[in-house]
A and B are shown apart, each in its own frame.
Chain A
Amino acid sequence: MNTSHSVDVLVVGGGATGAAAAYDLARRGMRPLLVEQLDLSTGTSGRYHGLLHSGGRYAGRDLETAAECIVENQVLRRIAPFAIEDTGGLFVATPDDPADFPERWLAGCRTAGIPTESITAAQARTQEPALTPRIAAAYRVPDGSCDSFDLIHAFVEATRALGGDALIYHRVRDLIREGDAVVGAHLEDTRTGERRTVSAACVLNAAGPWAGVVAGLAGLDVQIKFDRGAMIAMNTRWVNTIVNRLRPADDGDILVPVGTVCVLGTTSVHTDHPDDYRIEAWEVSKILSEADVVVPGIRHGRALRAWAGVRPLYEPPEAGHDDVEGREVKRTFSVIDHAQRDGVRGLVTVVGGKLTTCRLMAEQAVDVVAAQLGNEARCTTAGEPLPGPHAPRYHQLGGRLHKLEHGELPGELICECEMVTRAQLEAAIDAYGDQPVALDDLRRDLRLGMGPCQAGFCSYRAAGILQQKKGHTGPDTVEAFGAFVDERFRGVRPLLWGHQLRQMYLDELIYRRTLGLDQLVEQPTEEPAHA
């Protein structure tokens, strides 16, 4: 089946930049269609540590990014308060860190406009008792933590409310070129194989690490540098303030309290692939040992899950820095007007940047699109709050437990770690209508299976409910169950020692011995047979 329709702008990429751009376009009266090859926020934006930058992290060497961050930090707090927790941030130096750095860093913060407050070691430890007593310098900055899932969903919901639309699990197979113009795209539903043609006056390429691939579909060359970073979620909030190491940026510099966990990050490893999510053993050791310097004992805590994201770094060729990699590449972003650069109208690429600056990236990219389309409306995304709860929304288990115990949250507890009830699960399944829904989609919607047991208990329950709701056959349900088990295992595999190894043993026991799931799913042979 091949359906076709027409929109003003096709936005490629359901991450923060694409979602913000779709929203911006809709506000300026251009009808957007957002297309995402997987689910929303499954790429770099979802594989993220949750840090809403004050810009302090870039004040040492990349003042342009630092200045952008502090401005956009304030904007996002204003327009999306529901996605942000005002944790505040600390920059902490130990006596082993370069003694001359804080002064340089302070100067950078001043230039970039980042407010800092010098505090004593005692004040820092009063605020965060888990910090090391070995503190040489400490400063407060306006960091925050940000739920990228909530932010992106809010952008997309607002886009829909303004007449735009979004298609998930749709891949761009081809960009359609007519002479020197891109005029649309062929899309394919990755789940059903169904194809459709979309004609668009302009295509906005916000595909992050895949931006080079998308530009390539129009025969154009955009060279992205892929930079892999690993993160580890610890099972409790070891700190309630974001803690940054005050030293030249290096591996394992940040601790970010997000929701119920504390995310430790990160590394910076050059890779050749946009979807290289490997985590090497040295990265895990490095992140834990660096975090342990700032918060002693944290390496013996329970690590729940690890993941990696790929930063799409881009240096315009005219900058002449072909040989720099990783942390040397600036975190600024670029908007490429292919009409100017390549003489091809109807395609604009936006690449680089940070989640914190997603709105600004969208604004500047949409400015270029608007100019091509002759739209003269001005960007208004910084001015007005996104629809959504106007108070900060914390994912606090205490609050959910209170509701459960007082009958305000109906239904049985299905995911005990994250306190997800049957009623919530059923509502989330209903929201997909006739569309296929995977257990992993429900995880992103509800945090199902994201706690300490990593779905050992709730995956069976959720599979049972999914079957009841959708009327799936047994084999289909088992397949969905098996896929969720595989997905959850990928994230704990780098962390299997101590507590989490024991947890996975229990999960494996439930799946294999109690349920016999291994007999029912297709199995690859891994270990060579021996006695």
Chain B
Amino acid sequence: MPENPRANIPPGAGTDVIVIGAGLAGLMAAVQATQAGARVRVIANGWGQQIVSPGWISVCDRAADDVIAEVRGYAAIHPDHPYALAEDDAMVRGIEAFRNIAQKNGQPYDMRDKDGHNLRLMTALGAIQRPMLAPRGMANGDLTGVGGPVLLVGFTGWRDFFPALAIDNLRAAGVEARAVCIDLPAEQSSTWDLWPGDVARLFDGADFRAAVSGRIKPHAKDAVMVGLPAVLGLENPVEALADLSEQIGAPVFEIPTLPPSMAGVRLSNALRRWLMRHRARVQVGHPVVRGVVANGRCTHVEVGALGHTNPFYADQFILATGGLYNGGILSDETGRLWEPLFDLPVATPPGDGREGWYGERLLQERGHPIHRLAGLRANKQMQPLGQDGGPALENVYVVGHLLAGFNPLTDGCAEGIALATAYKAVQTALQLDE
């Protein structure tokens, strides 16, 4: 039997940083570590929460004026909040790094550069969300100072966007709007199970866009802008947007609709391609099942495969496995919460079992305690804290939703924290500060 020359090389040898998780925090940690010259490998069970999120970047949605100033003020009086751990420099630079890499890869994210205030973006129900930045298609729909009329366009019979639902609620928010549904040019053979991705792929075609524009134009005469569901192309959203705006004769913007989020898919694709072009490895689909620790350091992680596991070695490990939704923290019926890879201590809501996890109504103000209180605690180097309050592992760093202390669903800062902590973790892991 011929000897396999690679048999004795541990998989992952020559890797400086392994990032576990492919959400916004994990991907941005991988990008920034790669930019700093490290050899990086991303290992993830699946894509992260960007795939189901609306697509914009919430840094501090409740800020009435200067967003960065509001975050600084908040972090100063809440020293345990992830923003305070990462420090405001990390937040500003994390956002900058994100905008740069996204822009370079055909995914511009826009903000109100003039005053640094939050955007005012409408939802499909006509509520107003206030993220700091958004993919260009969504940021084009900034309602600041807009009284209307805004034209909302849906596609006849398409189940994921009902523009009429938004009209009355927008009016209550001071925006005049009209809704119209157009028939999509008949290109798709079956319409009974049309996903956002199916529609988005149609919008990649210039002829399709021209046909759609032709149907919208007669309705758009006096509209100051035209809103469509956020499915305007997958491959080249900037071109699709410019094309549609020009042909319709009014600025076109995108309104997030039911998952999967095309904005999240575009971003994930763009960052993965960039990483692979820069010789980082990105493996999505096989989970890390265990981190192996010796002398307070992680030596390698074991990755699940059919019937066995493969070890992957690196010097530094960035834990970006997400919170309760993405599987970074698991829970069971008895009320146990645990971190499955390193068994790191998990902060839990007070009370017996699952008693204190949820309130009575799903949409209650401030959300549910479990999503704010459950998670890992970290120090200012983003190292996870052990039972004794000191760093549990020397070369493991925690980022994103895995951290305790904020509710990603209600606090309006989910993406901001992902970007800030990813930046900070890379700085400390690669000792870039010194």
Contact yes or no, B258 A520, CB < 8 A: no
Q: A464-B162, A474-B166, A513-B409 are in contact. Are A527 and B368 (CB under 8 A)?
A: yes
For residue B315, CB closer than 8 A to chain A, the reply is no
By the criterion CB–CB under 8 Å, are B169 and A526 in contact? no
CA distance A461 to B58 in the complex (A): 26
Q: Is A284 interfacial (CB 8 A cutoff)?
A: yes
**1/0 contact trace for B148-162 toward A, CB 8 Å?**
000000000111101
Question: Judging by beta carbons under 8 Å apart, are A486 and B125 in contact?
Answer: no
Distance (whole angstroms) from the CB of B283 to the closest CB of chain A: 23
Which secondary structure characterizes the binding site on chain B?
Answer: loop
**Contact B256–A299 (Cβ < 8 Å):** no
Q: Is the CB of A525 within 8 A of B364?
A: yes
A474 and B170 alpha carbons, distance in the complex (Å): 9
Q: Which residues of A contact B93 (CB under 8 A)?
A: none
- Give Cα A517 to B165, complex, Å: 11
Q: Does A414 contact B (CB under 8 A)?
A: yes
A509 to B412, CA, bound (A): 12
A169 to chain B, nearest CB (A): 23
In Å, the complex CA distance between A460 and B324 comes to 24
Quick one: closest B residue to A482, CB to CB? B363
B353 at interface by CB-CB < 8 Å: yes
Contacts of B368 in A (CB 8 A): 527
Q: In the docked arrangement, what's the CA distance between A513 and B325, Å?
A: 15
Q: How far is the CA of A285 from the CA of B336 in the complex (A)?
A: 13
Chain B residues positioned under 8 Å from A493 (CB to CB): 358, 360
A405 CB to closest chain B CB (Å) equals 8
Chain B residues 10-61 with CB under 8 Å of chain A are 49, 52-54, 58
Do residues B354 and A281 form an inter-chain contact, with CB atoms below 8 A?
Answer: yes
- B74-97 Cβ-contact flags toward A at 8 Å (1 or 0): 000010010000000000000000
> How far, in whole Å, are A509 and B333 apart by their CA atoms in the complex?
22
Measured in the bound complex, the distance between the Cα atoms of B371 and A503 in whole Å is 13
- A463 close to chain B: CB less than 8 A: yes
B365 x A524 contact (CB < 8 A): yes
Known A-B contacts A493-B358, A502-B324, A513-B409; A284 and B333 likewise in contact (beta carbons under 8 Å): yes
A193 CA / B331 CA spacing, docked (Å): 46
Does A412 make an interface contact (CB < 8 A)? yes
Q: For A504, what are the chain B residues with a Cβ–Cβ distance below 8 Å?
A: 362
In the assembled complex, A431 has its CB within 8 A of some CB on chain B: no
Check B366 against A527 for contact (C-beta < 8 Å): yes
Q: Given the complex of chains A and B, what is the CA–CA distance between A413 and B324 in angstroms?
A: 29
- List B residues 160-214 near A (Cβ within 8 Å): 160, 162, 164-169, 172, 191-194
Query: Closest B-chain residue to A486, C-beta based?
Result: B361
Is B257 part of the contact surface with A, judged by Cβ < 8 Å?
yes
The listed residue (B127, B331, B334, B370) touching A515 by CB distance below 8 A is B127
Flag if A527 contacts B126 (CB, 8 Å): no
Q: Given A412-B158, A515-B127 in contact, is the A464-B357 Cβ separation under 8 Å?
A: no
Q: Please, what's the 1-or-0 string for A496-509, where 1 marks a CB less than 8 Å from any CB in chain B? A: 11100110111111
Identify the interface centre among A460, A468, A478, A527: most chain B CB within 10 Å of its CB.
Answer: A527
Q: Is the CB of A496 within 8 A of B362?
A: no
Judged by a CB distance under 8 angstroms, whether A489 is at the interface is: yes
Residues B362 and A486 in contact, CB atoms below 8 Å apart? yes
Contact with A along B115-133 (1 / 0, CB 8 A): 0000000011111110000
- Is there contact, CB below 8 Å, between A501 and B365? no
With beta carbons under 8 angstroms apart, the residue of A485, A505, A506 that contacts B363 is A485
Report Cα–Cα, A526/B366, bound state, in Å: 8
Residue B355, interface by CB 8 Å: yes
A296 within 8 A of B: no
Residue A521 CB within 8 A of the other chain: yes
Q: How far is the CA of A83 from the CA of B368 in the complex (A)?
A: 40
Asked if B287 CB lies within 8 Å of chain A CBs, one says: no
Chain A contacts with B in 274-304, Cβ cutoff 8 A: 281, 284-285, 288, 299
A46 and B191 CA atoms in complex are apart in Å by: 35
- Please pick, from B52, B194, B364, the residue contacting A524 in the complex, using a CB distance under 8 A: B364
Contact A531 B78, beta carbon cutoff 8 Å: yes
CB-CB nearest in chain B for A502: B325
A149 surroundings in chain B (CB, below 8 A): none
Would A507 and B362 count as touching, CB distance under 8 A?
yes
Cross-chain contact B325 with A506 (CB below 8 angstroms) = yes
Q: When the two chains form their complex, are residues A514 and B363 in contact, meaning their CB atoms are under 8 A apart?
A: no
Chain A residue with minimal CB distance to B405?
A531
A479 shortest CB reach to chain B, Å: 11
Q: How far is the CA of A478 from the CA of B192 in the complex (A)?
A: 25
Question: Bound complex: CA of A468 vs CA of B161, how far in Å?
Answer: 12
Contact B367 A527 (CB under 8 A): yes
Please give the distance in Å from B385's CB to the nearest CB on chain A.
18
Extra contacts, 6 of them, besides A526-B360, A526-B366, A527-B367 (Cβ < 8 A), are A285-B333, A416-B193, A457-B259, A477-B165, A502-B324, A512-B363
What is B's interface to A at a CB cutoff of 8 Å? 49, 52-54, 58, 78, 81, 123-129, 157-160, 162, 164-169, 172, 191-194, 256-259, 324-325, 327, 330-335, 353-355, 357-371, 409-410
Which 10 A-B pairs give the minimum distances between C-beta atoms?
A: A516-B127, A474-B168, A464-B162, A526-B359, A489-B362, A516-B123, A526-B364, A505-B325, A518-B363, A519-B127
Could you name 7 residue pairs across A and B whose Cβ atoms are closer than 8 Å? A465-B162, A468-B162, A468-B164, A506-B259, A514-B53, A514-B258, A527-B367
